[in-house]
Chains A and B, each alone.
Chain A
Amino acid sequence: MHINATLINLYHICARECWLHANGIRMEHTSDTVYDGKLLHEMSYPLRADRHTEISLTAEFSNEIVLTGKVDFYDSKARTIHETKRSNKTAAAHEWQCKFYIWLFALNGIDDVQAILEYPKSRERTNIFLSEADSVYLSNTVDEVYHLLRSDLCPPRLDEKICKHCSYHDLCYSGEDLSSY
């Protein structure tokens, strides 16, 4: 099974979204927010594309699990990953995604990599480093995601405020009001 950075990100937002995404039930095409994020990427990077490169990483985690990640912008001189996000609503998940990238570099023998998480809209920047404890946590998380994805059962919906802005909202909440039956 391949576990990538997106799934690690989603797992920290909503296990259901992680499961659906991994099983090919995608909703990006229905969401203006997702499209806006895509535009942000395209618009904020071309200027510095010369110094940064896109880089794909893989690492074997166990017999069954291969970790993968695609870093859009990596500055090899400064050993820095640049990750841009639209909004900081799910900042914790974004941080784990960045730490996962750093971890992937470490698993490939490249140490001392850091990440800069940027929110151009609110002009925020966070520097991200990976601690020993983070690596242990990520390793446990990969196991949890593995078990989640092996299951045939989709996790329940979150019923949180963020659901309203999620691209899966209409899928999750389209059930009929049973009082009408």
Chain B
Amino acid sequence: MYIILVYDIEQQRVGKMLKLCRRYLNWIQNSVFEGEITEVKLKELLATAKDIMNVHKDSIIIFSSRDEKWLEKQVIGIERNELDNIL
């Protein structure tokens, strides 16, 4: 599936969350990631994320769709990070 993950994490924990998400997804702008991920890998990511989070203060929101093609994306202003596998 294809997901967009956004998080709102208090400063002392945010670095850890950033590093975790970078392993699974592409960073697109501050606290926003997107990418293709399997259900189990997402489960693994979230299980690890819960260890980092304080669930009373922090949050993660995930928007998901079956396939990238169902997602229309528009960037206004500068694109911080282009997603491409040809670098």
Judge A-B direct contact (beta carbons within 8 Å).
Answer: yes
User: From DSSP, what is the main secondary structure of chain B's interface residues?
Assistant: helix
Give the distance in Å from the alpha carbon of A119 to the alpha carbon of B47 in the complex: 19
Give the distance in Å from the alpha carbon of A39 to the alpha carbon of B40 in the complex: 8
Give the distance in Å from the alpha carbon of A176 to the alpha carbon of B47 in the complex: 41
Q: Residue on B with the closest CB to A33?
A: B40
Classify chain A: how many residues form its interface, as a range.
under 10
On whether the beta carbons of A39 and B44 are closer than 8 Å, the reply is yes
- Confirm or deny: B38 has a beta carbon within 8 angstroms of a beta carbon on chain A: yes
- Confirm or deny: B39 has a beta carbon within 8 angstroms of a beta carbon on chain A: yes
Chain A residues positioned under 8 Å from B47 (CB to CB): 39, 42-43
Give the distance in Å from the alpha carbon of A43 to the alpha carbon of B44 in the complex: 9
Chain B residues positioned under 8 Å from A35 (CB to CB): 40
In chain B, residues 37-67, which have Cβ atoms closer than 8 Å to a Cβ of chain A?
Answer: 38-40, 43-44, 47
Can you give 8 contacting A-B residue pairs, CB < 8 Å?
A32-B38, A35-B40, A36-B40, A36-B43, A39-B40, A39-B43, A42-B47, A43-B47
Q: Which residues of B contact A (CB under 8 A)?
A: 38-40, 43-44, 47
Q: Which residues of A contact B (CB under 8 A)?
A: 32, 35-36, 39, 42-43
